[in-house]
A and B are shown apart, each in its own frame.
Chain A
Amino acid sequence: KAGVTQTPRYLIKTRGQQVTLSCSPISGHRSVSWYQQTPGQGLQFLFEYFSETQRNKGNFPGRFSGRQFSNSRSEMNVSTLELGDSALYLCASSLGNRANQPQHFGDGTRLSIL
């Protein structure tokens, strides 16, 4: 069974640009969650999509947005990039029926802002 795939693995952008990250979940998983991971703040929840609808949202500014397609693949977009957006962005998929189901993580996209 293929795991969660995130593309690209590495990305370098400059301030003010925008970026789109992609996540392909495990087949059959309907929930995709996005997280930002930094050394100082740890793993912070961005948002969760289930059946193409945003079901949960963390405390991030509106520059961070996402969407989910009918095949459960998800994209995350960050506009007007800031230096502080440099981080590892992880997505995780699950069946999504209950909160205690395991989250299956991809290996992340490392975003560096110059």
Chain B
Amino acid sequence: TQLLEQSPQFLSIQEGENLTVYCNSSSVFSSLQWYRQEPGEGPVLLVTVVTGGEVKKLKRLTFQFGDARKDSSLHITAAQPGDTGLYLCAGASGANNLFFGTGTRLTVIP
């Protein structure tokens, strides 16, 4: 089983601050996905990164896939209360295997 560790596990910040969430593994993944889950709902896909070193931006969110395709980071600029939720990374391996990370629970205080 490929283990994906996310850090920090919990993060509470003030509105307007910047933050970075990390997703690390000793395994290589063919691609990596990031999801956000809000209370009472299922996770929703934010982005998929495929190439080592790839950087994708989604408004105030910046996603990076590590050069060795073993890790990824999510950076949020000027966080807003609407960014509150559980952030999950998921690594794809083999033909049909997707492994989810341990999750980072973010709270943005107005």
- One digit per residue, 1 when the CB lies within 8 angstroms of any chain B CB and 0 when it does not, for chain A 16-40 equals 0000000000000001010100000
Interface class of chain A by DSSP: strand
Residues in B36-50 with C-beta less than 8 Å from chain A: 40-45, 48, 50
**Residues of chain B at interface, number, CB under 8 A:** 27
Chain B residues with CB under 8 Å of chain A are: 1, 30-31, 33, 35, 40-45, 48, 50, 88, 90, 92-103
- Chain B residues with Cβ under 8 A from A4's Cβ? 42
Whole-angstrom distance between the Cβ of A59 and the nearest chain B Cβ: 8
A1 CB within 8 Å of chain B: no
**Residues of chain A at interface, number, CB under 8 A:** 25
Q: 25 interchain pairs (CB within 8 A)?
A: A35-B100, A43-B43, A43-B88, A43-B100, A55-B96, A59-B1, A90-B42, A90-B43, A98-B96, A99-B93, A99-B94, A99-B95, A99-B96, A99-B98, A100-B30, A100-B31, A100-B92, A102-B33, A102-B45, A102-B48, A103-B33, A103-B45, A103-B98, A105-B44, A107-B40
Q: Say whether B42 contacts A106, CB under 8 Å.
A: yes
Q: Say whether B44 contacts A50, CB under 8 Å.
A: no
A92 to B90, alpha carbons, bound, how many Å? 13
